Structure formats: C-alpha cells, structure tokens
Amino acid sequence: MSDHDNSLSEPVSVPLVTEPWGMMQTLQAVRQNVLSIIPQIATKQPIVSGKMIKRWHMVTDPEALRRVMLEKLDNYPKSEVTKNLLRPAIGESLFIAEGAHWRWQRRTVAPVFSQRNVLNLAPIMSAAAERSALRLARYGTNRAINMFDEMITATFDVIADVTFSGDGSFDRNAVHSVIEAYIGDAAKVSLFDMLALPNWIPRPGRILFGQGLKKTKGQADRVIEERRKYHGNKIPDLLDLLLDGEDPKTKRKMNTAELRENLLTFIVAGHETTALSLSWSLYLCAFDSNVQERAQTEARAVLSDGRVATGEDVARLPFIRQVIDEALRLYPPAGMVSRNAVARDELCGRTIRPGDIVILPFYALHRNELLWDHPNKFDPDRFADRKSIERFSYLPFGDGPRICIGASFALQEAVIILATLLSRFRFTPIPGRDPKPVMILTLRPEGGVWLKAEPV
C-alpha cells in the first residue's frame, strides 16, 4: 500500500472560509484565488447569502440551479464582471452574448458540434496524443515533468489544427502567448470590476495586452478571408464548418468579425479547460495507484497493439471516462460563475431581488455533503452508473440552454489523450510538489502538476 493510497488521504483542495470577512479581505482573496471566498457552510447547506456592496446568494441546491440555468434563464444573465473581463478578447461571441444575439449564434454553431463532426475531428486528437507520448518518452524516466505545461501544449495543438488546419500563416505560438497572458492578467478581478465601475475607466493590467490582441485579431481575420476564397477541398475543420453555418430560422450567416470572435472563444475556452481536466486526471491517477492501475489495464486492453486511441475507442474506455468525470467533479475548470438577477424571484425559500448577485459555486456544489458521499475523496466509481447522479448536482459544463457547446468535443479529446498516455506510461508524484488548486478565471494547478512518467 503506497503512501498515496486513497483510503488514507484526500487529494488537494481549496481551504474554504470559516469566519465572516470584510470587504478588503475578500477583495485580496479574490485576486489570489476566487474560490477561497467560498464559505465552508456552502458545502453543507443549499444556499448562503450575504452583502458586499450588493446582496449576494451562493446556491448549491439542484432545484434552485435548475431554475437559474434552465427555467428562468433570462432572469439571470451572466454578470457584468465576467463579460468585462472577456469582452476585449472575444467580443460579443457565443460565450458573452445574451438574448436574441446569443440565440441566433447558438442555432448557427450547434450543428458544428454534432456527434458526426466531433467524431470526424478525432484523428487530429489522436495525432496530438501521439506527439505528446513521444515528447514524454524523450524526457526519460528520471525527470520531473510539468504535466500541466505538457497538456496545454497537446490541447493547443488540437485546437489550432481543428481551427486553422494546415494554415501556415497563423502564428500559433504568438496567439498562444497572447491568449495566455491576457487570461492570466485580465482575469485578476480588479477592484473596479467588483465595484461595477463603467468599462471606459481603464483597467491597469489590461492595457498592456491590447496590442497583442489586436495583432491576433488581425491575423485571424486574414485567415478567415483567405479561407472564404479557397474553401471545400478537404475534411472540414472548425473554420470551414462555421463558414458554412447559418441560422436555420433567419438564414443569417456570421460575418468575419463574428467568426473571429467565436473562433477566439473556442481557442480560449477549448484548449485550456481540456488541458486542466487532463492535468487534474493525471495528478489523481498518480495520487491513487490503484485507480491508475485499473485505468491502465483498461487502456492497454483496448489499445493492445500499442496504438494511439481513436474516436471509435472512446465508448470502449468507460473507466478512463469515469476518471475524467471525477477529476471534473473535484476540480471543475469553471469553479464558480455569477449571474445578475434582473427580476424578483425565490430560490430555496429566499427572496431574490433585482440587482442581487447569484453565485453558482460549482466547486462547492461538487463537494456538497448533502449531495455526495465523502465529497472530498477521489472515487471514479461514483460515475459507474451515470443515471444515479442527479442532473443539477454535477455541472462541469453548466447546463440548460447555455450548456458548454463543446462538451462532447472536450470529453472525446480528454479520453483519447488520457487513454493513450496511460497505456504507455506509469505516472508517479514528486514528493513535496503537490499542485495547489487556484481559480482566477479557471481552476488551475498553481505551480504545475509535477510527475515522473515511466514507460510501461
């Protein structure tokens, strides 16, 4: 029994608040780690309310979440703080738009992520998994490898190939570093955003990245214009599918700016979140050698000839999928989101007034003692029977009409990459180098996920 046997300990988690905090203390915490402002009692009861400039309510009750995300969706638009952070990078794209402007984009983009199209993109994912395995093999057995960096590389490969396949004019590394820098800095929720000051007041860190973003947008526009001219001679990638997409109701198609904003949204949202699920999955497999062994056995049985996993293999890798599901439960990439109430309502018997902030702390929901047995333990068997899990108690991709449009794409990619790596390597933790879960915009392993990878 190793010291990382799961019956003895729990994987890393965020320390939650046990006493009331003042404004400045909260603000400081938000800049360091958004999740650290969640009160411990949010994991023990359905709703917690308080006041900080505005009244706020943290909701972890599945029925109330169903109301906010599905039944009364238009009463709870995304908070201005979130939109202000992301608008400079991704404009009024699917992620930010509301109402009619959101609806027509969603109708246009939905077919792009159909099961058939997602499966057609699987070979790109398999190729990235193969390249990742080759890189790990080159590191040798005794090197500590930051698997978070490695997974960011692998998933950025996928999204770049899926978005601009074979397009040499798009400088991937430049795009990558601009997006990383923007997320890293813009995401630090500034005091201005918390106080809901108007957008024209410049935010200190964000000005720095304006130039890089402008250049990236220009590049993307050029690629889109080029593609409009030479279109339709190969298996369509994401850009081809979007160029062809039209709103079935109005027959409207996206113009260059709308295409670019949505492409940048998919690049931003599409690579980092999948890299996070993979990094946390690998950390958890290294943390619990029994789980790793079961996952490895499954992966090797399906990929018996040492080949890379494919889209067709995904359905035959249920335990690998369970590991990913459980990683998404313990470390949901969007650990917390907020909504602005625009109409009077009632949640969990509490009155919600227009102007109140409704916080959906998925991190606390996924660790709520009313909904999960031993919520802080790593146990992929929870997902052995998916039907037993109440719909609004597990929300790594959100739910309702605004559920993440790329969820099946992300899960297919994660299963392909994780199965390929586990079939070829055994991962062990580096003592004293545990990752620290910190959420700025997404829930990242601060300090990286440092593991050794030994060929098996």
Kindly indicate the confidence band of residue 198, based on its pLDDT and cuts at 50, 70 and 90: low
Please give the radius of gyration of the chain, using alpha carbons only, rounded to the nearest integer: 22
Helix then strand count (H, E) for the chain reads 17, 11
- What is the DSSP pairing of strand 357-360 with strand 54-59? parallel
pTM of the model: 0.92
Kindly indicate the confidence band of residue 232, based on its pLDDT and cuts at 50, 70 and 90: low
- Output the pLDDT for position 242: 92
Exposure string for 122-147, b = 16+ CB within 10 A, e = fewer: bebbbebbbebbeebeeeeeeeebbb
pLDDT at 305 over 80: yes
- Distance of alpha carbon 263 from alpha carbon 282, whole angstroms: 28
pLDDT at 6 over 50: no
* N-term to C-term CA, the chain: 20
- Output the pLDDT for position 145: 97
pLDDT at 405 over 80: yes
- What is the DSSP pairing of strand 337-340 with strand 145-146? unpaired
Kindly indicate the confidence band of residue 141, based on its pLDDT and cuts at 50, 70 and 90: confident
CA separation, residue 446 to residues 119, 189, 249, 250, 373 (Å)? 33, 17, 45, 45, 27
Per-residue pLDDT of 332-375, as tens digits, reads 999 998 899 999 999 999 999 999 989 999 999 999 999 999 99
The tokens for 128 are 């990235």
- Output the pLDDT for position 2: 40
With respect to CATH, is domain 23-455 assigned 1.10.287.90?
Answer: no
- Output the pLDDT for position 219: 83
